[in-house]
Amino acid sequence: MNHAAPGALRRRLITAGSLTAVAALAFTGCASSGGGGDTAGGDDENISVSLITKTSTNPFFVAMQKGAEDAADELGVELTFAAGKEDGDEDTQIQAIENAISKGDAGILITPNGPAVEDALVKARDAGLYVIALDTPPTDPESVDITFATDNFLAGQEIGKWTASKLGGEKATIALIDLFDDKVVSVDYNRDQGFLDGMGIDPADPEVNGDEAATGKYSGGDYEIVGNEVSGGAEDGGRTAAETLLSKNPDINVVYTINEPTAYGAYEAFKAAGTTDGLIVVSVDGGCAGVDAVSEGIIGATSQQYPVKMAQLGVQAIHDLVKTGEVPETTEGLDFYNTGVALVTDDPQEGVESIDTTEGSEICWG
C-alpha cells in the first residue's frame, strides 16, 4: 500500500490553528497592477477587509469566517462579513462588494457565487481595493488580484483514482452530482472533470460537465455514466439529484458529489431505496463532519481542503500589502496559490496516497 506514514503527509500541510504557518506565503517586493497598488501605508493606518462567502450556513464557509476572524484579531484588521443567501446568489454578493467600495476597505476576500459578480470585482479593483478569490477561481482572471484555493482538478483526480482502484475491475455505473446547470463555475467543472480523469475516463472538454462519452472503458474496466444532476451544493439538493438518477438506473454503484453536504443527501436517497450495499460515494471537502462520515462508511473517500488556511492567508496578504507593499505570488506552475489537498479514507488503495480518518480529524475544520 502507498498509504502515507502516520504524520508524514500532515507535516506537509499547514494546519488551521495559527498564523505562524502563514509566513510561508511567498511575496514579491512591489505592489501589483491591481487595486492593491493604492493601499500601501504606514503603521498607523487602519486596515479594513470584507470577507464575502457563498453562504453563511455551509460548514466550509463558517470555518472560513472563523479563520478570517482569528487572523484579523491577531493582526489588528477590521473585518466585515457578508454572504449570499444561498449558493449561486450573485446579487447579494454584488451589494456586499459595493458596500466594501463605499466604506473604503483595503481589500476583499470572496468566494464568488458566479460570473455576474466579476464585473463588480473589477470595479472594486479599479477603486483601489486588493481583491482575493478564495476557494473558487473566477472565470475572468482579471477580476481578482490572486486566488487562494485548493487545486480542485487534483482533488477530483484523487477521489477518481481511489474509486477506480476500489472497484477492482468491476463495472462502474456512475452518478455525477454537480453544483449548477445554469452557470459555469470553475470549482464545479474542475472537480467533476478531475474525477473522470482520475478514473481514466476522457472528460472531453475540460470545462464542460456532461459531454464525455456515456459508456466506455475506465482504467479498470467498463463504465456507464447514468447522468449529471445538480445539487446547489446542499444536502436536500443531493438527495433529490440522487433520487432522479436512481429512477434512471437503480444499479448505480459509484456516486461522485461536488461536496460533502451533497454526499450526505445522496447517501440518504440510496439508503431509502435500499441500495447502499457495495455503493461507493466520494466527495470533496474534508470537514470534520465529512471525516466522520468516512469513518462511518457513508463516504468512501474525500479530498480534504483547508478553508481556514485560505482565509488566514487572505487576511495576512492584505495586511502585509498595506503595511509593506508586498504582494502574494502564485504557486509555481499554477495561476493561483495552492492551499493543499489530502485524500482521507480508511480504505487505502495501492498507488493512491492518503491519510486515514484519525489523521484527517486532527486537521479538519468545522
Residue 357, phi then psi, degrees to nearest 5 = -70, -25
Pairing of strands 172-178, 221-230: parallel
Max CA separation in the chain (angstroms): 64
**pLDDT recorded at residue 13:** 37
SS (H, E, C) the chain: CCCCCCCCCHHHCCCCCCCHHHHHCCEECCCCCCHHHHCCCCCCCCCEEEEEECCCCCHHHHHHHHHHHHHHHHHCCEEEEEECCCCCCHHHHHHHHHHHHHCCCCEEEECCCCHHHHHHHHHHHHCCCEEEEECCCCCCHHHCCEEEECCHHHHHHHHHHHHHHHHCCCCEEEEEEECCCCCCCHHHHHHHHHHHHHHCCCCCCCCCCCCCCCEEEECCEEEEEEEEEECCCCHHHHHHHHHHHHHHCCCCCEEEECCHHHHHHHHHHHHHHCCCCCCEEEEEECCHHHHHHHHCCCCCEEEECCHHHHHHHHHHHHHHHHHHCCEECCCCCCCCEECCCEEECCCCCCCCCCECHHHHHHCCCC
**pLDDT recorded at residue 6:** 31
By CB atoms closer than 10 A (0-12, 13-18, 19+), residue 113 is buried
Q: In the structure, what pLDDT confidence band is assigned to residue 283 with cuts at 50, 70 and 90?
A: very high
pTM, rounded to two decimals: 0.85
Instruction: Please report the sign of the dihedral spanned by the C-alpha atoms of residue 341, residue 184, residue 233, residue 81.
Output: positive
pLDDT in tens, 49-83: 999 999 999 999 999 999 999 999 999 999 999 99
**pLDDT recorded at residue 33:** 37
Mean pLDDT confidence for 224-235: 97
The amino acid present at 229, given as its one-letter code, is E
Mean pLDDT of all residues in the chain?
A: 90
**pLDDT recorded at residue 127:** 98
Give the span between the Cα atoms of 315 and 308, in whole angstroms.
11
Block residue for cell numbers 466604506: 103
Give the span between the Cα atoms of 284 and 305, in whole angstroms.
8
Nearest CA to 302 out of 265, 352, 342, 271 is that of 342
Please name each of the domains of the chain with its CATH number. Answer: 27-150+306-328 (3.40.50.2300), 152-304+344-362 (3.40.50.2300)
Q: In the structure, what pLDDT confidence band is assigned to residue 140 with cuts at 50, 70 and 90?
A: very high
Give the span between the Cα atoms of 21 and 86, in whole angstroms.
32
First to last CA, the chain: 30
How many other CB atoms are found less than 10 A from the CB of residue 199? 26
**pLDDT recorded at residue 366:** 84
**pLDDT recorded at residue 26:** 40
pLDDT in tens, 8-51: 333 233 333 333 344 444 444 333 334 544 444 444 578 999 99
CB-based contacts of 23: which residues, under 8 Å, 6+ apart?
none
Nearest CA to 326 out of 23, 14, 123, 15 is that of 23
Q: Is the pLDDT of residue 1 over 70?
A: no
Mean pLDDT confidence for 299-305: 98
Of residues 148 and 36, more confidence is placed in 148
